[in-house]
Amino acid sequence: MTTRAEFFARIRGELRKKPALFAASTAARPEHPAAQADAIRRELAERWPETLEAFRLEFERVAGVFHRVASLDDVAPTIDRIARERGARELVSWHAASVAGDGLSRALTARGLGVQEMPAGEAADGAERARLRAITARADLGLTGVDLAVAETGTLVLVSGAGRPRSTSLLPPCHIALFDRAALVESLPQVGVFLEAWHGDGAPPADGAVVNFITGPSRTADIELTLTRGVHGPKEVHAIFVDGGLRG
Amino acid sequence: MVDIARRAGARMAVKSKSMATEEIDLNEALEREGITPVETDLGEYIIQLAHERPSHIIAPAIHKTKGQVAELFSRELKRPVEADPEELTRIARAELRQKFLQADIGITGANFAVADTGTVVLVTNEGNGRMVTSLPRVHVAVMGAEKVVPSMTDLMVFLAILAKSATGQKLSVYTTLVRGPRRAGELEGPEEFHLVLLDSGRIAQLGGPLREALSCLRCGACLNVCPVYRQIGGHAYGHTYPGPIGILLTAMLEGTGSVKELAHASSLCGACADACPVRIDIPKMLIELRREVDDQKIAPWIERVTFKLLAQVLVRPALYRLAARVGRVLQRPFARGGTISRLPLFLDDWTRTRDLPPVASRTFQERWAAEREAAP
């Protein structure tokens, strides 16, 4: 173990030996990331149908299953169909405020699914936390919202936080993510701008401990380079796009 | 690390794939303290059951057949197991899921860290990186000190490069940006987060001859194209990091003396430099290493003297011609079927593992002279 001062002193000492070597330039950072993120949103509002189509292509290429529905009312029937086809009954969900509001859980329960919504904040105690984890580990389906959907790579970006536990998109064998045009971005560099903006901001979703990029179902090729899905994370990832928007 | 684990009262540690912890023999250190380390990357899990070391940076169990994996699993589970990758993966999922939920401490490497935001970045395809950083009470990341990039903008560039070169994907399935322990209001996540920065020779190379090797992303592209690696496999290198880049990293971490033979385990064909996404000139540095091995008198004296003499001969055409003629006579008792596979005296050691082409009955110089004579 060395102290922080010793550690940096050693690096500085080495750098001084050959100063000319370290002229390397880094990528230009956005100066006002929050303003730039807003600009990206405004530009994309014009051409979201193309961005959505590009996302669908890439998402399906990484073995995601894409659904598109007209309004929030059509979401529960779609999830019900996904559940029925898999003989799945138990669903865990992010807190309603981070998905699509209160109506969805009620609609799913009415269709006979067992729905466990995650609390809006911390669990009261360790026992409650353990109970929720056990339910999540048993569940067939995990329902979440999406912070960014990246067309270039077919990636879903999910930020953890209050009411949005990370295990919902991780432990159940089937992950269903709900999004609308507000989440669409075109490229990884645009994601970079949003990450910078969130860092400067500190308001949700920027306040979570972990940002997860999810690009299709869990996979491995560790045994004889044979592609196999669902090794630790979900075997299936569904994305449901709501034309009418998630906020009605 | 052992201190952190001990303070957390850990009995079991789940690990996602990390070459850095291989480098410091962390598993052995934990075991000595009575803490069971469980590798959770499927490939690493397999080689841990086999009590072996990774043979490839990206696919650590690439040297195992599905039959061998099935045998390992059935020994572990004490029941017969079918040799089918799908079935084997399903079994590993069930086995390791229990470990994720039970473990007290999660240990990971780190693919990158972002200086601006204090973020540690993990890339996996299986999702074990997410499990290890989400479920246990304590998360410890072990990272080579060279993995820091300035900003999120830079990170986006490197994520795409790493995925493309490592596995041909546009992006790996899971990229996890860890910004610290569980925040207020969050239901889950570790209560403690530790980041261990690893120097072991890295910082000394910032101004050193191997500094370019510090840019390595550990994508494994140079291994896949290397004719030597493809012939001998990862274990033959005998150190944590195999392949062409592995020779440079071994020299960096363990000193030039540790690669006195490995520095020559390359045909200098340059395929690695072409495949490298961050343009590390591996062949150039291998030549540099060979020079160092010679300068620092690490190579055996007989080898150094022989090469010095050879160098004198090679720069003097008259001497070279004479040597070729002498060699043609001297080789007679040893050349069999177009090769020399055995030489006497101190050269015996050298030919024990190598064949030498004999001096041609007519050398190129002789033929060239004759052609010139005959031409009008």
Contacts of residues A24-31 at CB distance under 8 Å and 24 or more positions apart, as own/partner, are A26/B149, A26/B150, A26/B151, A26/B154, A27/B150, A27/B151, A27/B153, A27/B154, A27/B157, A28/B153, A29/A196, A29/B116, A29/B150, A29/B151, A29/B153, A30/A193, A30/A196, A30/B153
pLDDT at A158: 97
Question: In B, which residues are within 8 Å of A195 by CB distance?
Answer: 117, 152, 155, 177
Spatial CA neighbour of A215 closest among B321, B341, B126: B126
Interface list for A 166-205 with B (CB within 8 A): 166-167, 170, 188-189, 191-193, 195-196, 199
What is the least distance, in Å, from the CA of B258 to any CA of chain A? 23
- B182: helix, strand or coil: coil
Closest-CA residue to B341 (of B330, B326, B357, B327): B357
Q: State whether B173 and A219 contact (CB < 8 Å).
A: yes
Predicted pLDDT at A38: 93
Q: For position A20, what pLDDT does the model report?
A: 62
How close A107 gets to chain B, by Cα (Å)? 25
Say yes or no for a CB contact (<8 Å) between B185 and A191. Answer: no
pLDDT of residue A18: 73
Q: Which of A21, A122, A233 is closest, CB to CB, to B130?
A: A233
Residues contacting B313, CB < 8 A, separation 6+:
B319, B320, B323
Instruction: Report the DSSP pairing between strands B148-149 and A236-242.
Output: unpaired
Report chain A residues whose CB lies below 8 A from the CB of B42. 220, 222-223, 231
Residues of B in contact with A211 (CB under 8 A): 176-177, 179
What angle in degrees, to the nearest 10, is found between the helix axes of A126-138 and B85-102? 170
Selecting from A129, A163, A232 the residue whose C-beta is nearest the C-beta of B131 gives A232
Give the tens place of pLDDT for each residue, B165-214. Answer: 998 999 999 999 999 999 989 999 999 999 999 998 899 888 888 989 99
List pLDDT tens digits, range B214-268.
999 999 999 999 999 999 999 999 999 999 999 999 999 999 889 988 999 999 9
CA of A241, closest CA in chain B: separation in Å?
Answer: 20
A window 130-149, beta carbon within 8 A of B:
132-133, 137
- Say if the Cβ atoms of B185 and A122 lie within 8 Å: yes
Check if A125 contacts B (Cβ < 8 Å).
no
* Nearest residue on chain B to A124, alpha-carbon basis: B187
* Mutation site for B-interface testing, chosen from A210, A218, A226 by largest number of B Cβ within 10 Å: A210
Q: Quote the pLDDT of residue A25.
A: 65
How many angstroms separate the CA atoms of B181 and B335, rounded? 69
CA-based nearest distance A146→chain B, Å: 15
Chain A, window 222-241: residues with a beta carbon less than 8 angstroms from a chain B beta carbon: 222-226, 228, 230-234
Which residues in chain A have their CB less than 8 angstroms from residue B61's CB?
A: 222-223
Closest approach of A243 to chain B, Cα-based (Å): 26
C-alpha pair distances (Å), A174 with each of A4, A138, A238, B203: 44, 12, 8, 45
- Are B188 and A133 in contact (CB < 8 Å)? yes
Q: How confident is the model at residue A24 (pLDDT cuts 50, 70, 90)?
A: low
Determine the pLDDT at residue A23: 58
The reply to whether the predicted model has a pTM over 0.90 is no
pLDDT in tens, B301-360: 887 888 888 899 999 989 988 888 888 888 888 877 778 877 777 777 777 777 888 888
Whether the pLDDT of residue B296 is over 90: the answer is no
Chain B interface includes A11 (CB < 8 A): yes
pLDDT at B160: 94
Given B62, B130, B183, which is nearest A207 (Cβ)?
B183
Show which of residues 15-44 on chain A sit within 8 Å of chain B, judged by CB atoms: 15-18, 21, 26-30
Residues of chain A neighbouring B93 (CB-CB closer than 8 A): 230-232
Task: Give contacts of A212 with chain B, Cβ < 8 Å.
Answer: 130, 174-177
From chain A, the residues in CB contact with B97 under 8 A are 137, 232
Q: Identify all chain A residues contacting B134, using CB atoms and an 8 Å cutoff.
A: 166-167, 170, 210
- Shortest distance between the Cα of A173 and any Cα of chain B, in A, equals 11
Q: Are B176 and A129 a contacting pair at CB < 8 A?
A: no
Q: Say whether pLDDT at A248 is over 60.
A: no
Task: Give the pLDDT confidence of B44-89 residue by residue, as tens digits.
Answer: 999 999 998 888 888 888 899 999 999 999 998 898 999 999 999 9
pLDDT of residue A109: 95
Q: Side chain identity at B222, as an amino acid letter?
A: C
Instruction: Give chain B's radius of gyration (CA, Å).
Output: 26
Give the integer Cα–Cα distance in Å for A95 and A205.
Answer: 14
Rounded-to-integer distance, Cα B19 and Cα B370, Å: 59
Strand pairing category for B339-340 and B335-336: antiparallel
Flag if B170 and A215 touch (Cβ within 8 Å). Answer: yes
Cβ–Cβ of B183/A27 closer than 8 Å?
Answer: no
Report residue A86 as tokens.
Answer: 């898999």
Tokens of B297: 């008198």
Token pair recorded at residue B48: 């841990």
Report long-range pairs for B61-66 (Cβ below 8 Å, ≥24 apart): B61/A222, B61/A223, B62/A222, B62/A225, B62/B234, B63/B233, B63/B234, B63/B235, B64/A223, B64/A224, B65/A224, B66/A223, B66/A224, B66/A226
Contact list in A for residue B177 (CB cut-off 8 A) is 195, 210-213
Whose structure tokens read 């086995």? Answer: B95
Q: Show Cβ contacts of residue A239 under 8 Å, excluding neighbours closer than 6 positions.
A: A59, A64, A65, A66, A67, A146, A149, A156, A176, A177, A179
Among partner residues B40, B183, B206, which is closest to A209 by beta-carbon distance? B183
C-alpha radius of gyration, chain A, whole number? 21
Inter-chain residue contact B186 with A199, CB threshold 8 Å? no
Model confidence at B365: pLDDT above 90: no
DSSP character string of B137-168: SEEEEEEEGGGEES-HHHHHHHHHHHHHHHHS
User: What does pLDDT average to over chain A?
Assistant: 91
Distant-in-sequence, close-in-space partners of A126: CB < 8 Å, separation ≥ 6:
none
In 3-state terms, what secondary structure has residue A105? Answer: helix
In this structure, are residues A98 and A156 in contact, taking their beta carbons and an 8 Å threshold?
no
Q: Three-state SS for A174?
A: strand
Task: State whether ipTM is beyond 0.90.
Answer: yes
Q: Is B45 exposed, middle or buried (0-12, 13-18, 19+ CB in 10 A)?
A: buried
| Lookup: tokens for A7 | 């550690």
DSSP B205: G
Residue type, B100: F
